[in-house]
Amino acid sequence: MIVIDGVELGKCVTVRELMQRLGISKATARKRLRRLERRGLVERRHVGRVVVYCTKEGVEARSPPPSWSPGPTPKTRRRMEEALEVVVREGCVTTSALIRKFGVSHTQAFHTLRLLQAEGRIVEVAVGTTALWCRDRATAEELIRRLRDVVHRLAVSNSFRYATPAKILRAVRGDRDAYALFSRFISLSRVYGSFSPAALAFVNSLLRMMYGEPVLHTPRRAVYVISQPRELEIAVRDLDKKTVTVDIPADLAAALRGADVNQVVLQAIEQLLARYRP
């Protein structure tokens, strides 16, 4: 098999596929494919509305030998080890935290973290639009529990019957312990009286995770009823396992509490398959 900068000879690839295959950002993947196109190694085609890049015939002589495989440069490898030390020490970090610490671009920091993820040395959790990079699954789940506990504590101590992301963020700003925790991952400053979209999305994700769908949802505001938080259920993203998150009604969740849910699901699948067996 001959691979040209991540594109297998005789095959086609999209920008997203190359991004996932090499663990690079979307902008870097697009730039790499366009560079190959200018060199005449690939050609751009349209499959419906999707743009694909395909290797052209007769490029074998200009392609790297089959044994060649792109890998991290020594400089990137050093940055990976430095980033891993930070993640292990802190438990979970954001891409922005590494940008500030090492003085690198967002693309460089993101690429470094993706490589660590590809090697199975860290995992990623998305909370709203914020990516949290954690040393392992247990650490990621523990952090989400801590964040949820703080949100619920603030809602109860302030006697909130209904809460919005902005309302919770204002409470976070007024609580020293909550401020210390949340400021590690999002900006709590306000510009012209408003919180950043990333901060609002971060808290909105936690509220949805805890209390289910909002009772009111508009482009500018989501309102949640404060109730007993639901069981923790997060999707930890890594490259060797896939987590499927399913929302179920509260009464069904209560009925299944204490039961072997995996066995219940398997029985349901078995019953469905039985209907279609000859």
Residue 139 tokens read as: 């650490």
- Determine the average pLDDT of the residues in 94-118: 90
Q: What is the CA radius of gyration of the chain?
A: 23
> Could you tell me what percent of the chain has a pLDDT over 70?
74
Residue 45, classed as helix, strand or coil, is strand
Contacts of 66 (CB under 8 A, 6+ apart): 1, 2
* Residue 180 pLDDT greater than 70, yes or no: yes
pTM above 0.85, yes or no: no
Mean pLDDT of the chain: 80
HSE of 228, CA atoms in CB hemisphere, 13 A: 4
Question: Which tens digit of pLDDT belongs to each residue from 58-85?
Answer: 434 334 444 444 567 888 889 999 999 9
For residues 200 and 128, give the distance between their C-alpha atoms in angstroms, rounded to a whole number: 8
Among 15, 44, 39, 17, residue whose Cα is nearest residue 27? 15
Q: Where are the domains of the chain?
A: 3-62, 74-137, 143-225
Domain 3-62, architecture per CATH: Orthogonal Bundle (1.10)
The reply to whether CATH 1.10.10.1490 applies to domain 143-225 is: yes
The CATH class of 74-137 is mainly alpha
For residues 125 and 237, is the Cβ–Cβ distance under 8 A? yes
